[in-house]
Amino acid sequence: MSVAEVRAWLRDVVVGLELCPFARGPLEAGRVRFAVSQASEEHAALVDLAREADALLDGVADTTLLLIPAAPDFETFVAWTEDGEDLLADDGLQVVAFHPDFRFADADADDPANGVNRSPVPLWHILRADHVAAAVAGHPDIASIPERNAALLRSRGA
């Protein structure tokens, strides 16, 4: 899985279907950093996460997608993500997990709504908390986004 394929997914799915109303601006402005980790175990992945967090804090981009192609199954990746959230909590950053097998805790594995966080390769989306807060504050109805996305993905099917 290449950066080009993830970039196409971001453009065609996330932005194209408007799953994230905040993604278009940084993508079109060239302010999304794409990085690749070769890690296949948690410690190495967290080292790469910390490196990318430092780069984000240094202003190299508005947001970062850290691809981790050798990451494990979804449940293990979620545990890694929780540790990553703890690692970055004091830096004003957030980490969101995307995985080909992503499943919301209360959803069936085959629910198309899980597609909101399904990506071609396991990856972490690293965001600046202040950017998230500003985007949320400027959106007229933030609470409607998850329902809209679920309905859209379910109408499109698996």
**pLDDT exceeds cutoff 80 at 51:** yes
Q: What is the pLDDT of residues 92-139, one digit of tens each?
A: 999 999 999 999 998 999 999 999 999 999 999 999 999 999 998 989
Bridge partners (DSSP) of residue 94 are 127
What Cα–Cα distance (Å) separates residue 135 from each residue in 14, 25, 52, 127? 16, 11, 22, 11
Contacts 24+ apart (CB under 8 A), 114-117: 115/13, 115/153, 116/19, 116/146, 116/149, 116/150, 116/153
| 11, burial (CB in 10 Å: exposed 0-12, middle 13-18, buried 19+) | middle
pLDDT value for 157: 87
Q: How confident is the model at residue 149 (pLDDT cuts 50, 70, 90)?
A: very high
d(CA 77, CA 96): 11
- Specify whether the CB–CB gap between 83 and 89 falls below 8 A: no
Residue type, 141: D
Q: How confident is the model at residue 158 (pLDDT cuts 50, 70, 90)?
A: low
d(CA 96, CA 127): 8
